[in-house]
Amino acid sequence: MTESLDIWKLLAGLGIFMFGMFLMEESIKNLAGRSFKGFIRNSTNGRIRSVFSGAAVTAVLQSSSAVSLMVLAFVGAGIMAMENAIGVILGSNIGTTITAWIVAFFGFKVNIEDYSLPLIGIGGLGLIFLGRSERYSNISKLLVGFGFLFMGLDYMKTSVEQLTATFDIASLPHYGILTYALAGVVITAIMQSSSATIAIVLTSLNAEVIDFNAAAALVVGANVGTTVTVILGTIGGTQIKKRVALSHLTFNLVTAVVGLLLIPAITWLIVLVLGPVGQNAVMGVALFHTIFNVLGVLLFLPFIGLLSKYLVKVYPDKLKATTLFIQNVTPEVSEAAIEGLKNEVLHLITNTFNHNLQVLHIDQGLVVEQVPNKKPKPQQDQYEELKLLQGEIFVFASTILSEEVSKEESQHVNKLLHGARMALHSAKSLKDEVRNFEEFEAADNAFLNREYELFRKRLVNMYSKLANVLHEKDHSEIASTFISVMKKLDMDDRKFIKTITQATAAKTIQDLDISTMLLVNRALNQSTRQLIFGMKEILLTDVESEILEKLNEDEFQDAD
């Protein structure tokens, strides 16, 4: 048998085929640029849309792994719901079936060499003469990739056909369906490509080395084998990655069981559509691959919500983690990384609200939504966590900037970092006055007690307005709120200075208290302005920020 089978030609064909797939994937992703990532992010609102999006993108990219990595990034960044992420993964399984159709339509019905050599020739010359242009270079790679894919397929086809010339198929032992399915799992796990496995299956079927049922079982096993790569990638990974991997494994295992049980029924359906499978075996397997994946999606679609809840129970969030978003995001996907960074800075600002309210012993639930049954931490612990969170934000941001990012993305990251710095400055401004606030609260002086309560009311009033801005989408409303709070801040400051002046004249307070009260008032004003400036960097564009600052200056000039 080894004399009949040219093993090196088979391996060469497989290697050329996989290299062609690699070139195609790389060139298509580069040509599409951010549009594919934007398509995934913007076209996954709803389970049905997410399934179609996953199928479409995977069909074009020819890599469910690439799609899964982008999904992981967007889920981790907090811009894609877990349910929609599962939908994309379900759809990606349908998208992978396009490989079988390409091979079935072109691989065994035309002279592959007539297509492969011209594609490789044109693409190779394009790389040499047009390589300086990134766009034309990727187009040339795409042509070479297609050419190698067809050439590798031709090599595999020829090597297997040589085996059947002298090998008696009847001498093959009749292994069970489960054995073939397991073989599909192992082959795909080793080669890390279900597309390559399916190409081998179809070439073997075309050469009549295996029958239709064996080919169908191998294809089912190949589907399960694709999960091995994702599972290995989650070792030591985040909870989000483990949930996605488990959802992928659960779907493929259940779909595999259904596919194996329904082989007779699906075969009957294929016969109705294509005629006897013996005459259209290759097309039949391609259709089988699509049918059993579509059936799996239809089976799982109503239960995505339940599956998502189950995954959260199996891999719950690590509540002790300082970060909420960037721990789940890979910096390589810049759009998702920057969105995750933005959400993390907003998380930092929310914690700053909590810290600053705690300084004046204000119930945080009056301003920001609190986690049920979560006991507030001491103010000093909160401040230390703010510093740690800011540090992690800066480390993650530096990782993003170390990647290839555009000028606009770099500026956006720097704005977010400035917002994070201003938030921490806001917390420090009040932290430094903790002892003074506590002395005013406990002082045996009615005036100091009353002013302390006014400080608290001022903070609650301003923070209530600012907290609402965090969920506001209308930029004009955000800017209007900022101006309103800053005007109120200025008015309260003037009123406070007038009150202090009157109290000084009436000898209501001592000289030392006057100095301390002025410092505390300044810290309160400065902290609030720093918080607003930090929020402005995150929620408004550069142009809107400039307009806000101009309007703010005009308002205060009018007040004068």
Q: Which of 261, 289, 314 is the last residue of a domain?
A: 314
Do 308 and 347 belong together in one domain? no
Please say if the pLDDT value at position 551 is more than 80.
Answer: no
From the list 548, 549, 554, the residue with the least C-alpha distance to 479 is 548
Residue 173 phi, psi (nearest 5): -70, 150
Q: How many CA atoms lie within 13 A of 196 on its CB side?
A: 27
Q: Is the dihedral of CA 421, 423, 426, 431 positive or negative?
A: negative
Buried b (16+ CB within 10 A) or exposed e, 499-535: bbeebeeeebbeeebeebbeebbebbbebbbbbbbbb
Sort residue 362 into left (φ over 0), alpha (ψ -120 to 50) or beta. beta
| DSSP of 271-293 | HHHHS-TTTSHHHHHHHHHHHHH
As a whole number of angstroms, the distance between CA 87 and CA 161 comes to: 40
Residue 319 lies in a domain: no
Is 40 within 8 Å of 74 (Cβ atoms)? Answer: yes
Do 449 and 539 belong together in one domain? yes
Please say if the pLDDT value at position 423 is more than 90.
Answer: yes
What is the domain count for the chain?
Answer: 2
Q: Max Cα separation, the chain?
A: 115
Do 347 and 271 belong together in one domain? no
DSSP secondary structure code for residue 301 in this structure: G
Q: What is the pLDDT of residue 306?
A: 85
User: What is the separation of C-alpha 560 from the centre of its chain, rounded to a whole number of angstroms?
Assistant: 50
SS (H, E, C) 199-244: HHHHHHHHCCCCCHHHHHHHHHHHHHHCHHHHHHHCCCCCHHHHHH
Residue 2 lies in a domain: no
Residue 320 lies in a domain: no
Do 199 and 289 belong together in one domain? yes
Determine the average pLDDT of the residues in 28-36. Answer: 60
Please say if the pLDDT value at position 317 is more than 70.
Answer: no
Do 434 and 546 belong together in one domain? yes
Do 343 and 239 belong together in one domain? no
Cα-Cα end-to-end distance for the chain: 98
Do 309 and 337 belong together in one domain? no
Determine the average pLDDT of the residues in 318-339. Answer: 76
Please say if the pLDDT value at position 527 is more than 90.
Answer: yes
Q: Where residue 470 falls among pLDDT bands split at 50, 70, 90? A: confident
Do 199 and 227 belong together in one domain? yes
From the list 101, 376, 345, the residue with the least C-alpha distance to 219 is 101
Do 70 and 186 belong together in one domain? yes
Do 273 and 385 belong together in one domain? no
Lookup: tokens for 345: 């800075």
Q: What CATH number is associated with residue 366?
A: 1.20.58
Between 6 and 301, where is the model more confident? 301
263-298 residue pLDDT tens:
888 888 888 777 776 567 778 878 888 888 888 888
What's the chain's Rg over C-alpha atoms? 32
Q: What is the pTM of this model?
A: 0.56
Within 10 angstroms of residue 120's Cβ, the number of other Cβ atoms is 19
Contacts 24+ apart (CB under 8 A), 556-559: 556/487, 556/490, 559/487, 559/490, 559/491
Range of the domain at 475: 326-559
Residue 250 lies in a domain: yes
Give the chain's mean pLDDT.
78
Is 66 within 8 Å of 25 (Cβ atoms)? Answer: yes
Between 318 and 286, where is the model more confident? 286
Do 429 and 287 belong together in one domain? no
Amino acid at 51: V
Do 257 and 360 belong together in one domain? no
